[in-house]
Amino acid sequence: AAGVIQSPRHLIKEKRETATLKCYPIPRHDTVYWYQQGPGQDPQFLISFYEKMQSDKGSIPDRFSAQQFSDYHSELNMSSLELGDSALYFCASSPPRDRGMELHFGNGTRLTVT
């Protein structure tokens, strides 16, 4: 079965640089989420899209932005990177209605800011 695909798996950037993370949700899933997870921490919600429209916003810095495209893939853009942005970034998608409580995660992008 198809899973959520994220790229790249690993990314190393320097302070003040820009990064773009990509996510391809499971086909026919109607909601896409972005989470940030630091070492030993729970996933922190950043932003979500329902049917390509931004649906909810969490603790996402103003330096970050995201969008979902017509083919349903999503991108998280991160600018003016700081050391504290180093974390695992997960994209997840959920199916519609009856199975809407199932969150399916990609393998994540490990971002290291030096």
Partner 1 sequence: GQSLEQPSEVTAVEGAIVQINCTYQTSGFYGLSWYQQHDGGAPTFLSYNALDGLEETGRFSSFLSRSDSYGYLLLQELQMKDSASYFCAVREDYGQNFVFGPGTRLSVLP
The string of DSSP codes covering 45-109 is EEEEEETTEEEEE-S--TTEEEEE-TTS-EEEEE-S--GGG-EEEEEEEE-SGGGTT--EE---E
Strand pairing category for 31-37 and 104-105 = unpaired
Interaction between residue 100 and partner 1 (CB under 8 A): yes
Q: Which is nearer to partner 1, 11 or 103 (CB)?
A: 103
Interaction between residue 1 and partner 1 (CB under 8 A): no
Q: Which of residues 18-47 bind partner 1 (CB under 8 A)?
A: 31, 33, 42-45
Q: Do 87 and 37 form a contact (C-beta atoms < 8 A)?
A: yes
Q: How far is the CB of 10 from partner 1 (least distance, A)?
A: 12
Interaction between residue 58 and partner 1 (CB under 8 A): yes
- The footprint of partner 1 (CB under 8 A) covers 31, 33, 42-45, 48, 50, 55-56, 58, 90, 92, 97, 100-108
